[in-house]
Structure 1
């Protein structure tokens, strides 16, 4: 696997070990995108954030 794939796998493993922190990061990234786009793509960012959370086993119920 290439370096990018290795980095993605390491990030996923770290997120699995620290889901609360990972949830905060995902929520922050989602918030920034929504702010910069004027919430134009809110539904898409919600689905994307949910997909990321599922990838490391979070249900997204931690405080955002």
Structure 2
């Protein structure tokens, strides 16, 4: 069971959850007036970095075979 807590699949799920949380936070922040542009840029940059990590982990877990 302990190995399941640190599995790559578990890490992928956690990254996806964090990405979804950032999406929600960005949406809520965009509705505020005035919009804090610096914070929005930082949140979007963090979300993009998470998306890149998710993509790399997905590729490592399920590598595509050459056609």
Fold conserved (TM > 0.5)? Answer: no
- Max Rg structure: 2
TM-score (norm. length: structure 2): 0.41
TM-score, normalised relative to structure 1: 0.42
